[in-house]
Each structure stands twice: as structure tokens, then as C-alpha cells.
Amino acid sequence: MPALTLKVIVERLNAQGLSAQLSGNAGDEIRRVASLTGAGEGDITFLVNSRFKKDLCSTNAAAVIVTAEDADAVPTNAIVVENPHVAYAHVAAWLYSDNDFLPGVHSTATVDPTSTVHARARVDANCVIEAGVVIAAGCHIGPGCVMGKNTVLGEDTRLVANVTLCHGTQIGRRNLLHPGVVIGADGFGLANNKGEWLKVPQVGKVVLGDDVEVGANSTIDRGAIGDTVIGNGVKLDNLIQIGHNVRIGAHTAIAACTAVAGSAIIGEHCAIGGCVGIVGHLEITDNVTITGMSHVSRAIGKPGVYSSGTPLEENAAWHRNFIRLKQLDDMARRLKKLEKRLAASEHLDETKK
């Protein structure tokens, strides 16, 4: 793990446009990241939530990343930025970089002679690289991965372990695919033939842009005819299902256990909570937030925050409310009759005047 001086860290943050300022000893070295309460010598931490400000004055960290508002309360070196969480993310990435791996192909890996593995790439044990595969410089293919025919990996992409890329999958640069990810399996394409399901060949592929992250055991299906496309900077959590021909715009983030049905289009800079279900063949515009456990059954054409579902409550109260919910239609009809009677009565009173 590399050690970085605070001087180097501040210089790198400024190179990222974060306007960082250092208060303290520029020569102190940072080796690890840690929490405010768990940090010690050589550790760097950060403060975002004011609830944890009570821990700031007693931290033993070598440095703390804070906003200008909290800088005076830091008992050690302080790096002052507008967004400490973003700065921390950069620092953690530098300290825990995977770029120092040794290139080469493990003796137990199977690589088709028609494939191209860059001299600065690494292929670990028990991998299978089929015909026509292209693996660019800086890629790290973890143990047990399978790359189907004519798949392509862009520079500095990492498949952590047991990742499967089915034939024709195209992966951009600096992608991170966690264990168990499957990209390019057949979509759920079926035709009903007099009550029996007939499989429809899925002849498209999956295209991932640059800087995409896909969480453990998530799946992205290949297109039925055209392609399934995931834009630059998209972040997918664990256990997510993306159906065939779905398109997800750049820098959208989706939390765990969400399912997106086929041919749905999700815009850029969206944030979708966990366990959301999105119906197929609809479109969600840019800058939409959907809270967890929501069911999206219609298009969303206006940016904003959307929710659905029933919040948790005591079981007895939930049963009472559910019974009332089933009575809403009858109550609405009765209310309409009462409104008509009231209007007729008011009209009669007016005619008597």
C-alpha cells in the first residue's frame, strides 16, 4: 500500500479541481483511511455528517478532511475542501489502488490463440478466454472469469472474480465488475405459441461505457435485436437485474435488488433506490430520484423525487387500513350520491328564496 504525503494529496486534489487547502504539516505521510473514532497514526478520515462532529475533537487521525466551517475544530492536520466525501473518495482510491499488480497470464488460464492480451494486462488462475477476445493494457482479469467470443475490455478495467462476459460484450475503460457478475446472458425473450413458450433468439449485445461499476451477482441481459447500453459513469449495486435492450444514461446510480424490465430507458444523473421495480418499455427522464421499494409502472417525464409503496406500521393497524382500502370504491360511490343529494338540496333552497 503506497504512502502519500499531505502535500502530494493536496496537490492531487487540486488537480481534480477540488480547491483543497492544507492546515498542518505538509510532510506527514498517510497510509490508510479510517473512521474518526478508529483512526490513528498514518490514517486519514473525513467529516460530512454533523452528528459525528462530537468525535472530531478527540480523533487520533493524522489528518481530517473537512469543510471550512469545521476546520477550527480539527485537533490535527486538516485538509479543507467544499465536499469532504468526494475528496475522501479520491484519497481512498489512491491509497488502495490495484494498479500495482504484476502483468502476465497464469499457467492454469486457458487463452485462445486468436485472442489478444496486452503485455500490461493480468489474467489470473482458471480463467477462460475464448476466440477473438481483446484485453487492453492495465486490465486485471481475476480468478475464474470467463470471457466469451469477441468480447472486448477497455484499458484499466478489472473483473474481480468469477465474472462471466458472454459473447460480443463490449466493456469500456476503467470499469469494475465485482464477483459473480454476468454480462450478456440471454434476455427473457419468449413468444407464446398456443399456450407454449417459444424462445426468441437474443442476437444483440451489451455495451458498457467508461467508469462503470457493477456490483456482485448483478446481471445485464444482451439485447434481443439491438443492444443493451449502459452509459459512462453508471453505478450498479449488488443483485440488480437489467433486462434486454434497456438503456441507462450516464452517471445514473441504482441501489441493490432493483429490477429493470426490457426496453426501459433511464435518463442521465438519476438515483434509484433499492428494491425498485421498473416496468419495461417506458422512459424515465434525466435527474429523477426514485425512493426504495417503489413500483414504476408509467413513464416519468419531469425531473424530481418519486415514491410509491406503503410504509411499515404495526400489523393490526395495517390490517385495518387494508380493509378500508378495499372499501374505497364503495365509499367513493356513496360520497358521490351524497354530493348529488346535497347539490339538489341547495338548488331547492335557492329556488324557494
For 61-91, the pLDDT digits (tens) are 999 999 999 999 999 999 999 999 999 999 9
Q: For residue 100, what are the contacts with CB-CB under 8 A and spacing of at least 6?
A: 2
Grid cell for residue 194: 398456443
Query: Taking residues 10-39, what's their average pLDDT?
Result: 96
Q: Counting runs of H as helices and runs of E as strands, what totals does the chain give?
A: 4, 39
At residue 353, the pLDDT reads 63
CA distance 169 to 178: 16
167 among known catalytic residues:
no
Which tens digits make up the pLDDT trace of 153-172?
999 999 999 999 999 999 99
Cell of 32: 490508510
DSSP-assigned letters across all residues of 176-207:
EE-TT-EEEEPP--EEEETTEEEEPP----EE
> Residue 247: in which H helix or E strand, if any?
strand 247-248
Quick: pLDDT tens for 302-332: 999 999 988 889 999 999 999 998 999 999 9
pLDDT of the residue at 214: 98
The pLDDT confidence band at residue 52, using thresholds 50, 70 and 90, is confident
Crossing angle (nearest 10°) for helices 328-352 and 315-326: 60
- CA torsion through residues 72, 48, 250, 154, sign: positive
Q: Whole-model pTM? A: 0.89
* Candidates 90, 140, 178, 244; catalytic one: 244
If we measure between CA atoms, which residue out of 11, 7, 24, 4 comes closest to residue 77? 24
> Residue 14's pLDDT band (boundaries 50, 70, 90)?
very high
- pLDDT band (50, 70, 90) for residue 99: low
Q: Is residue 266 a contact partner of residue 287, using CB atoms and an 8 Å limit?
A: no
Tell the residue number behind the cell numbers 393497524, with chain if given.
317
Asked if residues 138 and 155 have their Cβ atoms less than 8 Å apart, the reply is yes
Question: In the chain, helix, strand, coil percent, each to 5?
Answer: 20, 25, 50
261-306 confidence digits (pLDDT tens): 999 999 999 999 999 999 999 999 999 999 999 999 999 999 999 9
pLDDT tens digits, one per residue of 177-208: 999 999 999 999 999 999 999 999 999 999 99
